[in-house]
């Protein structure tokens, strides 16, 4: 069983000062939670300041996105090499990147490969929209996203996959533990087909979508859930720590 991961995606929230204050709060309760990898993913401009705050604790750093090229004329972008040393993890293929920034599976695939080449650990996000779920396409959408994102990827040793049904993100309408487990079992078996049973078993699978301290136990008890990707509740140190504790309790 992989060590569970609880990652907080701060999205486009927090000024530099707010990010430092939030990270300082996390150093108390969150640092003390054992048995789970705790990752915070602040906005790019706060990465260095937050890293300085959490250095020396058990809290790990992640970025929310990156470009796949190493350098060049890509105004406003951040390269993998700029993140190494600052972050261990990088969220890739978040549904907001797919939806608002038109990221395709091909672009996400380039990013996954670039992250791995740079020594960053990708948290690859997949998940279906509401219409796709209602049409009965959830499994095929997620499977196709996985195939697309992992094209030419030879090793998944440092990969984590987050299953985030789009209809559950930021809506308060979380998937049931059973519904999450159904798709996450398919993610696990797809990884096994693409790589091997042994490799697939070691990949942390995170559920994301309206996770709170109240519902985390429902996910933690599922056999194929090894963590959570948390948006809204990760902006509150006490709630995020409670989620990490709940996930660690399994
Ligand atoms: C997310 O954005 O990845 C997410 C899961 O958000 P929330 O927890 O707010 O639903």
Nearest Cα neighbor of 109 from 121, 93, 126, 96 is 93
Tens of pLDDT, residues 84-112: 999 999 999 999 999 999 999 999 999 99
Q: How far apart are CA 203 and CA 221, in angstroms?
A: 17
Asked whether residue 42 carries a pLDDT value surpassing 90, the answer given is yes
In testing the pocket of ligand 1, which one of 230, 235, 242, 247 has its CB within 8 Å of the most ligand atoms? 230
Q: Which domain holds residue 167?
A: 5-249
Q: Please give the distance, rounded to the nearest whole angstrom, from the Cα atom of residue 40 to the centre of ligand 1.
A: 13
Residue-wise pLDDT tens digits, 122-158: 999 999 999 999 999 999 999 999 999 999 999 999 9
- Cα 209 to ligand 1 centroid, rounded to whole Å: 5
* Nearest ligand 1 atom, CA 234: 8
Can you give the pTM of this predicted structure? Answer: 0.97
Nearest CA to 89 out of 53, 117, 119, 131 is that of: 119
Span 115-122, average pLDDT: 98
Residue pLDDT, tens place only, 172-223: 999 999 999 999 999 999 999 999 999 999 999 999 999 999 999 999 999 9
Gap from CA of 207 to ligand 1 centroid (Å): 10
- Asked if residue 211 has its Cβ within 6 Å of ligand 1, the reply is yes
φ/ψ of residue 235, rounded to 5: -90, 5
HSE-up of 58 (CA within 13 Å, CB side)?
A: 15
pLDDT at site 172: 92
CATH code, domain with 79: 3.20.20.70
Atom of ligand 1 nearest to the CA of 174: 10
Residue 235 pLDDT greater than 90, yes or no: yes
210-233 tens-digit pLDDT:
999 999 999 999 999 999 999 999
Distances (CA, A) of 19 to 87, 108, 118, 235: 15, 27, 26, 9
Residue of minimum CA distance from atom 6 in ligand 1: 231
Share above pLDDT 70 across residues of the chain, in percent, rounded to a whole number: 100
pLDDT at site 137: 97
Under DSSP, is residue 19 helix (H, G, I), strand (E, B) or coil?
A: helix
Into how many domains does the chain fold? Answer: 1
Our answer on whether the CB atom of 209 is closer than 6 Å to any ligand 1 atom is yes
Q: How confident is the model at residue 250 (pLDDT cuts 50, 70, 90)?
A: confident
Residues involved in catalysis: 94, 164
């Amino acid at each position: 069983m992989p060590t569970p991961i609880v990652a907080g995606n701060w999205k486009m929230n927090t000024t530099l000062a707010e990010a430092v204050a939030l990270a300082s709060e996390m150093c108390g309760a969150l640092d003390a939670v054992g048995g789970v990898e705790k990752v915070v993913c602040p906005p790019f401009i706060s990465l260095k300041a937050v890293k300085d705050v959490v250095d020396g604790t058990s809290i790990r750093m992640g970025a929310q996105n990156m470009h796949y090229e190493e350098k060049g004329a890509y105004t406003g972008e951040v390269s993998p090499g700029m993140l190494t040393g600052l972050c261990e993890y990088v969220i890739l293929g978040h549904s907001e990147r797919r939806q608002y920034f038109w990221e395709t599976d091909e672009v996400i695939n380039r990013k996954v490969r670039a992250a791995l080449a740079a020594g960053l650990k990708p948290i690859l996000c997949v998940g279906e929209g509401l219409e796709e779920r209602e049409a009965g396409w959830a499994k095929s959408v997620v499977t196709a996203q996985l195939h697309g994102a992992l094209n030419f990827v030879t090793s998944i040793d440092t990969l984590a996959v987050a299953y985030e049904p789009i209809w559950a993100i930021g809506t308060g309408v979380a998937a049931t533990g059973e519904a999450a487990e159904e798709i996450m079992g398919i993610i696990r078996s797809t990884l096994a087909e693409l790589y091997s049973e042994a490799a697939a078993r070691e990949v942390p699978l995170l559920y994301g979508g309206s996770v709170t301290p109240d519902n985390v136990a429902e996910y933690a008890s599922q056999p194929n859930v090894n963590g959570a990707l948390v948006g809204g509740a990760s902006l509150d140190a006490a709630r995020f720590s409670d989620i990490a504790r709940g996930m660690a309790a399994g």
